[in-house]
Amino acid sequence: MRLKERWAAVEGREQAIKAARGRVSVPDLTRRDVWGRRDPDAVRAILAEAEADRAQPWPRTLLSDYARYWRDGVRTAYEGPAGELRRRTSTAVLAAALTADQAYVDEAADGLMLLCEQTTWCWAAHESFVTARGEVAGDPDEPYLDLGAAETAEILAWADLVLGPVFDERVPGLRRRMRREVSQRVIQPFRTDRRWHWLGLDGHLHNWNPWIHGHVLAAALFLEDDPQVQLEVTDLVVDGLSRYLDALPDDGGCDEGYAYWWNGPARLALALDVLDRVTAGAFAPWSCTPLAELARYPQRVALGDGWYVNVADGSARPDANQPWHVLHRWGRSHHDPEVMAQAAAHRDLPIAPAAGLGRAALGLTDDAWWDAAKADLPLPKSTWLPDVQLFVARDDQLALAIKGGHNDENHNHNDVGSFIAALDSTPVLIDLGQPTYTALSFSDRRYTQWVVQSAWHNVPMINGHEQQHGPQYKATDLVVQDNSLALELSQAYPDAPRYRRVATLEDNAITIADEWEGAATQHFIIAGTPTSQGPHEVVVETLAGAHAHLSWDAGIGRLEERTVDDALLEGVWGPTVHRLVIQCTGNSFRLTVRRGERP
């Protein structure tokens, strides 16, 4: 049964929605029996963050910073302080709930009013209404419902749920203002305008769908006073989530990668959990395909020590402080011990308000999460995800990941056939991942960025050509075994002859064996420090201090050093990376990666 059909079959859902505030297991701050006995370490971390915030002035969101997106392509000048305002407000709400301290209540109220006073909640990069008019100033009379608007509405919604009674006493009128702003900027645009691209009505579904729908759901449940509007919006939310779930591959893969998994499938899971709570378990969505497989994706792409197999605009070392309690509850819903273990391996990390106020509030009040014992990270020996064409293999020293797919995936890089080689969890031959987003990132000039080009992935140039962008540029003829993946790469290039790649992990060594027709130049992107080099070998000191030995059988290699001119990438890989370039003279090539000796 599809998700929306399960929802339609829930008896009494109108009454359940009306009673939502009392059913989500997050009480208001007057319930000191709940808020007064939260995990001490979690409380200390949030209060330390809140105290540090109070020592600083509130962030300011300025028109001149907003305009920079159109002036010079910079997004972070505005999105940085706007995100900091949301985070600080969320932290203050949690601090107020945990302590019932009026100073924190006032801090939260100040942040919420600052959010209400913003002209727009939309991020400049998404404001197509403004762009269509040739302007840069947001228009409150024509709000654009994007991630920024939805995230702001979510903060107001959960803040009202948790602090509503004390707001009525201490700042009368704030709750009415919050309802008005959310209705005008989010609820009404969602109801009346069904052109939003993230609805996926054209068949293109991505993380915006569950990300925004989940926030709209919270806004409707906690801030909408009209029961008919509540029901209408909730039904539309479920319809949208059902569309997203239907589009996800049966293997549970995520073509946007692990970092975006938290804002795609994990957002979906949280929204479904809220709906299941509201209906007291009558919704019971967890048997819908492929929810069980989606929950296993993080363990399938984990390398260990905070490193992950990254594809597309994904970071190889994303923030470890994710809402792991969401995954733990997901695992409990499926009675899946390995999913629960994956989450519990991160049990000692604090709750992060920056990950979302709703997520944080639900996590703080999830007693089963706090009672869970820390577990070891489950790392499957071999994984093959046929729908997204991702293969991962591990032994006790090395890990190999290689992707097929096509060059029109969500957040696409031209990377068909590219691979990652890791030693002791740390990538050596790498996928650079996501650069800082600018006006170029999702424009028709996206592929002018070096990071997304195939020349800066672990794939060859064929007859002098890089891979091209488009769904027709793809891997074909894939053959998978327990420890290897073979694939044909010629269709990822313009007018390329045959090019066969076989990637294998065996006997504590990774081998990449290529055969082709025509001319080929090999490119391999290296993280760490090359410490010695010969005509057919390089020893690399990894970012963790181990040594990897790279050797090959054909062509003389040369190392090119490139400055990492992006703060986001530098934070992962350091100030430089190297590219190993090998001009091949024959029609075959074999690269081997194994543990090396210290020079």
What's the pLDDT band for 361 if we cut at 50, 70, 90? very high
Q: Using DSSP bridges, classify how beta strands 302-304 and 307-308 pair: parallel, antiparallel or unpaired.
A: antiparallel
Of the candidates 396, 390, 395, the one whose C-alpha atom is nearest the C-alpha of residue 420 is 390
Tens digits of residue pLDDT in 448-481? 999 999 999 999 999 999 999 999 999 999 999 9
Provide the pLDDT for residue 598: 77
Structural domain boundaries of the chain?
3-371, 382-595
CATH of domain 382-595: 2.70.98.70
Dihedral of CA atoms 9, 289, 378, 550 in degrees, nearest 10, equals -150
For range 335-343, the mean pLDDT = 97
Instruction: Give me 21's structure tokens.
Output: 């505030």
CA-based nearest residue to 350, from 331, 363, 341: 363
The residues near 519 (Cβ < 8 Å, ≥ 6 apart) are 462, 463, 464, 584
Q: Both tokens of residue 559?
A: 């190392």
Give burial (CB, 10 Å; 0-12/13-18/19+) of 101.
middle
With beta carbons less than 8 A apart as the criterion, state whether 382 and 392 touch: yes
Residue 469 CA to residue 454 CA, distance in Å, equals: 10
Q: Which residues contact 263 (CB under 8 A, 6 or more apart)?
A: 207, 211
CA–CA gap between residue 236 and residue 246 (Å, rounded): 15
- Among residues 325, 356, 256, 242, the alpha carbon closest in space to that of 297 is found at 256
Q: Dihedrals φ, ψ of 518, to 5°?
A: 95, -150
Q: What is the C-alpha to C-alpha distance for residues 16 and 18, in angstroms, rounded to an integer?
A: 5
The reported pTM is 0.96
For residue 33 the two structure tokens come to 């029996």
pLDDT tens for 141-157 read 999 999 999 999 999 99
* H-run or E-run covering 557: strand 557-563
Identify the pLDDT of residue 342: 97
DSSP code, position 171: S
For the domain covering 3-371, report its CATH number: 1.50.10
- The span from the CA of 556 to the CA of 33, in Å, is 70
147 Cβ partners below 8 Å, 6+ apart? 123, 126, 208, 211, 212
pLDDT above 80 (res 18): yes
Whether 11 contacts 282, CB under 8 Å? yes
Residue of higher predicted confidence among 597 and 521 = 521
Q: What is the mean pLDDT of residues 244-267?
A: 97
Task: Read off the pLDDT of residues 375-413 as tens digits, 9 standing for 90 and up.
Answer: 999 999 999 999 999 999 999 999 999 999 999 999 999
- DSSP one-letter string for 198-259: GG-TTS---THHHHHHHHHHHHHHHH---HHHHHHHHHHHHHHHHHHHHHS-TT---TTHHH
Question: What's the gap between Cα 364 and its chain centre?
Answer: 21
In order of 248, 258, 275, 327, 374, the CA distances from 334 in angstroms are 18, 20, 16, 11, 19
